[in-house]
A and B are shown apart, each in its own frame.
Chain A
Amino acid sequence: MNMPLDADTDTSDDVLLARYARGDAAAARLLVARLTPIVYRHAARVLGDQAEAQDVTQEALIRLWKIAPDWQAGTAKVTTWLFRVTANLCTDRLRKRRGVGLDEIAEPTDPTPSVEAQLQTKSRMDALQTGLMQLPERQRQAVILRHIEGLANPEIAQILDISTEAVESLTARGKRALANIMAPHRETLGYDDDTP
């Protein structure tokens, strides 16, 4: 399938969603091209499992398609709503997977034994993913949304349904914890070498 690039950056998600609800196939194509990578990337980073990330992405977008006819333009950003649904779906899956409390430190779900071993054959991104997977789920979500997706704290607060202060605390603690996790592998990660 020749998926067109999301070249139409001028049209807002709100407008596209309204057009989608009226049966506009072009709007559907644009929304899929625009939103699928965002949702999938976030789910994959939070879950550390691409197959599960695909399931979550599909479920999140189906919910968006179903709510499209009733979407109130201007009340919320489509991406914020979608991130929130995705975050909740990820939380549900992680709960089922682990059966433990949200903020308990989880064991890495990646079967690879260590960050060091991964770095031998895989990219720095894999190492980052492994490090992220060692963070508690809420910290991981906050760190990904803040530092990788680049969202502002108030928007993250909406997504995670917590206060902005709690977001600041989560991201600060998460980043510090991640830095400590990655610390033994600084040289292998090539912070200085790869940083422009």
Chain B
Amino acid sequence: MTHPDPDTPDMTGLDALFSDAAKGPDLAPSEAFMTQMMESALAHQPVPVAIAVPWWRQALSVLGGWQGMGGLVAATCAGFWIGVNPPDTMPSSFDSLLNIEAVYSNSEDTADLLGFGWVLEEE
């Protein structure tokens, strides 16, 4: 191989050498060493610990977490309020307990409810 300038190092040849070194398995660890490394890795591996979960956290999880719990509380409050102060058209819980049925008056003119307040005359 000729080199034009003896003072200039051959970088191209060195790059080829680097390239061979990068892909070459000349420094591959032995199988015995790999086995030793595997044993070392397992020996130093943290052991998974079962963490005790409190009962309330488990219950919360069953109910769908904080979001599910929030919905449940809102529904409970609404139900309680309806029970305490029911709408007029609903029998109160107290009446229901005494087996008293609600009586609906029909005092209003049904025409007001069922039509336009006037009757079509048919021929």
Residue positions of A touching B, CB distance < 8 A = 1, 3, 20-23, 25, 28-29, 31-33, 36-37, 40-41, 44-45, 50, 53-54, 57-58, 61-62, 65-66, 68-69, 123-126, 128, 147-150, 175-176, 178-180, 182-183, 186-187, 189, 191-192, 194-195
Secondary structure at chain A's binding surface: helix, strand, loop or mixed? Answer: helix
Q: Is the CB of A195 within 8 A of B46?
A: no
**Chain A to chain B contacts (Cβ below 8 Å), 11 pairs:** A3-B34, A22-B48, A23-B45, A25-B42, A40-B33, A54-B29, A124-B20, A125-B24, A147-B15, A150-B22, A192-B1
Q: Does B80 contact A (CB under 8 A)?
A: no
- Contact, CB under 8 Å: B48 / A65: no
Q: Does B38 contact A (CB under 8 A)?
A: yes
Q: Is the CB of A124 within 8 A of B17?
A: yes
B10 to chain A, nearest CB (A): 6
A186 B42 Cβ-Cβ under 8 A? no
Q: How far is it, in angstroms, between the C-alpha of A135 and the C-alpha of B72 when the chains are bound?
A: 73
- Bound Cα distance A114, B114 (Å): 115
Residues of A within 8 A of B26 (CB): 123, 125-126
Instruction: Name the residue of chain A whose CB is nearest to the CB of B41.
Output: A28
